[in-house]
Amino acid sequence: MMKKIMILASVVLMATACGKKEKAFDATGTFEATEVTVSAKATGELKLFAINEGDTVEADAQVGRIDTYQLTLKKQQLETQRGQLAASKRQMSSSRSAASSQQLDLNKQLSSIQQQIANAKRERQRYSELVKDGAVPRKQLDDIDNQIKVLNRQLEATRDQIGSNNAALAEQSKGILAQMEGIDAQMEGIDAQQRQLDDQIANADILSPISGTVLEKYVEQGEFVATGKPLFKIADVNRMFIRAYVTSAQLHGIKVGQACKVFADYGNELKKEYPGTVTWISSRSEFTPKTILTDDERADLVYAVKIAIRNDGYVKIGMYGEVKF
């Protein structure tokens, strides 16, 4: 009888000890990585697509290119149109300059006639004295008077021509300026179209937005793709994190930036430990996911937390893991 009592007591003690044994983890979850699905920004044939699943790609590296032949032709056509407009503008500017130069020549001619008249008047004054003294015949004085009359008529004609030219030049200049403004507007429109084409041509280059590993490849070289079509998915598997879930009772002992231990679970009690850092704590509770174990198995509502780790190549996306705070 005593032996049975001792055995029963031993079983109770072992059960009690097991019940008080500290759990090996505080939360569980699955490993995730920053994943980006890259889609086409242009429409056309996929001329180049030099990646495969599992490839490691650097950020901003070109991994493919969509056909830009039609876009290039359109850009060349716009460049030709712009060149023609620029030539027309230069011709108009030359015509305007030629008209201004002609007007300048008339002004010079007017000044020359005025100078000739002044010289002739001085010469007449000198000959007038000589005629009074009988030193020269009267005819020379008459010739000078006739010359002054001719010069005055030329002066008036030149002034009239200058006035007429000024009005015509002003009207012509106004028309040329209006045409040049129209050409400038057309050239600005072409420049805007060229910038748009440059952007479309640049979008034909398929670049990797992040450094990481290609997870999935959705198309092959030679296929026709449309804007928005998914091309491949890439993930940064070097900096991974585990999304774990904790109860409200555990929240008071967890904060962002806190160091903790993370265990990657390979099954059959085979685990690998990694140092982790809490990077995010959800501000909203949610119902416990079916695949998650919590410190309090009775808890219906839990909070998600993210713990970042540096991957050594053994942790895979979707792998089960545990966290010890």
Give the position of tokens 């079509």.
Answer: 229
Q: What is the pTM of this model?
A: 0.65
Which pLDDT does position 224 carry in this prediction?
96
* Residue 103: HSE in the Cβ half-sphere, 13 Å Cα cutoff: 17
Residue, of 98 and 11, whose pLDDT is higher: 98
Q: pLDDT (tens digit, 9 = 90+) per residue, 254-311?
A: 999 999 999 999 888 899 999 999 999 999 888 876 555 555 554 568 899 999 999 9
Per-domain residue ranges of the chain: 23-67+212-324, 69-202
Q: pLDDT (tens digit, 9 = 90+) per residue, 190-236?
A: 999 999 999 999 999 999 999 999 999 999 999 999 999 999 999 99
Which pLDDT does position 19 carry in this prediction?
44
Inter-axis angle of helices 69-132 and 138-203, nearest 10? 170
Among the listed residues 67, 68, 70, the one whose alpha carbon sits nearest the alpha carbon of residue 47: 67
Strand partners of residue 214: 234
CB under 8 Å to 283, separation ≥6 — which residues? Answer: none
3-state SS class at 55 = coil
CB under 8 Å to 211, separation ≥6 — which residues? Answer: 56, 57, 58, 59, 236, 238
Which pLDDT does position 267 carry in this prediction?
84
Among the listed residues 68, 60, 61, 64, the one whose alpha carbon sits nearest the alpha carbon of residue 43: 68
3-state SS class at 290 = coil
Which pLDDT does position 291 carry in this prediction?
56
What is the Cα–Cα distance from 263 to 167, expressed in whole angstroms?
Answer: 92
Q: Mean pLDDT throughout 50-64? A: 94
Which pLDDT does position 290 carry in this prediction?
58
Binned at pLDDT 50, 70 and 90, residue 4 comes out as very low
Q: Mean pLDDT throughout 37-61? A: 95
**E-strand stretches of 200-311:** 205-207, 212-217, 224-225, 230-246, 259-265, 271-281, 286-287, 301-310
Which pLDDT does position 96 carry in this prediction?
67
Residue, of 5 and 146, whose pLDDT is higher: 146
Is the pLDDT at 6 greater than 70? The verdict is no
CATH T-level fold of 23-67+212-324: Elongation Factor Tu (Ef-tu); domain 3 (2.40.30)
What is the Cα–Cα distance from 262 to 30, expressed in whole angstroms?
Answer: 11
Q: Which of 17-26, 150-159, 160-169, 195-204 has the lowest mean pLDDT?
A: 17-26
What is the Cα–Cα distance from 244 to 261, expressed in whole angstroms?
Answer: 12
Q: Which region holds residue 268: left if phi is over 0, alpha if psi is between -120 and 50, else beta?
A: left
> What is 69-202's CATH number?
1.10.287
Cβ atoms of 86 and 187 closer than 8 Å: yes
What is the Cα–Cα distance from 150 to 155, expressed in whole angstroms?
Answer: 9
Is the pLDDT at 10 greater than 60? The verdict is no
- Cβ neighbours, 10 Å, residue 45: 13
Give the position of tokens 């032996």.
Answer: 3
Q: pLDDT (tens digit, 9 = 90+) per residue, 93-150?
A: 777 676 666 667 777 787 888 888 888 888 888 778 777 777 777 788 778 888 888 8
